A and B are shown apart, each in its own frame.
Chain A
Amino acid sequence: MALPHQPPADAGPLERFVRKAIWRIRLERLRLALGVMVWISLAAATIWTAGLLWRPQWALAAPIGIAVIGALLFVAADVALFWQVDRRSVLLRLDRQLGLADATISASELTGDIRDDWRWRQLAQTVNRLSTRSWDERWPRRWPGLVGLGAATLAVLCALLLAAWRVERVQAQPGPTPFQKAQFQALEEVFKDWDEAAKKTNDPKLQEQLALMKPLREQMLSGKIDDKEVLAALSRLEEKLQAAREQIQAQSLEPSAAELASALEPFQGMSAMAASLRRKDFGQAEKLAQELAEKLNQPGAKLPEGADQRENQLRLANTAQTMQQRGQNSVSQALQKMEQGMQNANNQQTSEGLDGLKKNFGDQAKRDAEKQRLATQLAQMGAAKDSLGSGKSVARGMSLLPRLADSKQHGNGAGSEIDPHRFGAETNIASNRTEEKVTGETSDGDSVITTEKSREHSKEAPTSVHQANFHEYEKLSREAIEDESIPLAHREAIRKYFEMIRPAEK
Chain B
Amino acid sequence: MSPHQSPALDAQLDQFRKRFQQLKSEVGKVIIGQEDIIDHAIIAMVAGGHVLLEGVPGLGKTLLVRSLAGALHLRFQRIQFTPDLMPADLIGTKILVDDAVGRSRFEFSPGPIFCNLLLGDEINRATPKTQSALLEAMQEQSVTVGGETRPLDRPFFVLATQNPLEMEGTYPLPEAQLDRFFFKLKVRYPSEREFDAILDTTTQRAAPSVEPVFQGADLVEMGGLARDVPIAPTIRQRVVKLIMATHPETADAPPLVRKYVRYGASPRAGQACILAAKIRAILQGRFHVAGEDVLSIALAVLRHRVMLNFEAQADGHDSDAVLAEVFARQQESWSRE
Contacts and interface: CB of A to CB of B under 8 A. Distances in A.
Interface of A: 1, 3, 5-7, 88-89, 92, 96, 101-103, 105-110, 114-122, 125
B6 A110 contact: no
B315 interface: no
Nearest to B293: A101
B291 interface: yes
A110 B232 CA distance: 6
A5 B230 contact: no
Interface in B234-277: 234-235
A109 B3 contact: no
A392 to B, nearest CB: 62
A3 B232 contact: no
Contact of A116 (B3, B228, B233, B293): B3
A120 B4 contact: yes
Contact of B234 (A7, A102, A117, A125): A102
Contacts of B286: 101, 103, 122, 125
Nearest to A93: B337
Interface string B191-217: 000000000000000000000000000
B288 A103 contact: yes
A106 B232 contact: yes
B83 to A, nearest CB: 48
Nearest to B292: A101
CB-CB nearest 4 A-B residue pairs: A101-B290, A122-B287, A106-B288, A109-B232
A506 to B, nearest CB: 99
B293 to A, nearest CB: 8
Given A118-B9, A121-B9, A106 B235 contact: yes
Contacts of A5: 5, 7, 10
B86 interface: no
Interface of B: 3-10, 13, 228-235, 284-293, 335, 337
B156 to A, nearest CB: 28
A379 B5 CA distance: 106
24 contacts: A3-B13, A7-B5, A96-B335, A101-B284, A102-B234, A102-B288, A102-B290, A102-B291, A105-B232, A106-B230, A106-B289, A107-B288, A109-B232, A109-B233, A110-B232, A110-B288, A115-B230, A117-B6, A118-B287, A120-B4, A121-B9, A121-B287, A122-B286, A122-B288
Nearest to A99: B292
B270 to A, nearest CB: 17
Given A110-B230, A122-B230, 17 more contacts: A1-B285, A5-B10, A92-B337, A96-B335, A101-B286, A102-B232, A102-B289, A103-B290, A105-B234, A106-B230, A106-B290, A109-B232, A109-B234, A117-B4, A117-B6, A120-B4, A121-B10
Q: Which of B5, B7, B293 gathers the greatest number of chain A CB atoms within 10 Å?
A: B5
Given A102-B234, A102-B288, A118 B228 contact: yes
Contacts of A114: 230
B229 A118 contact: yes
Contacts of A96: 335
A92 B6 CA distance: 30
A207 B64 CA distance: 122
Contacts of A116: 3-4
Given A101-B286, A103-B286, A122-B288, A117 B232 contact: no
A123 to B, nearest CB: 9
A117 B230 contact: no
Contacts of A3: 10, 13, 285
Given A101-B290, A102-B291, A110-B288, A6 B232 contact: no
Contacts of B13: 3
B129 to A, nearest CB: 44
Contacts of A107: 288
Contacts of B287: 118, 121-122, 125
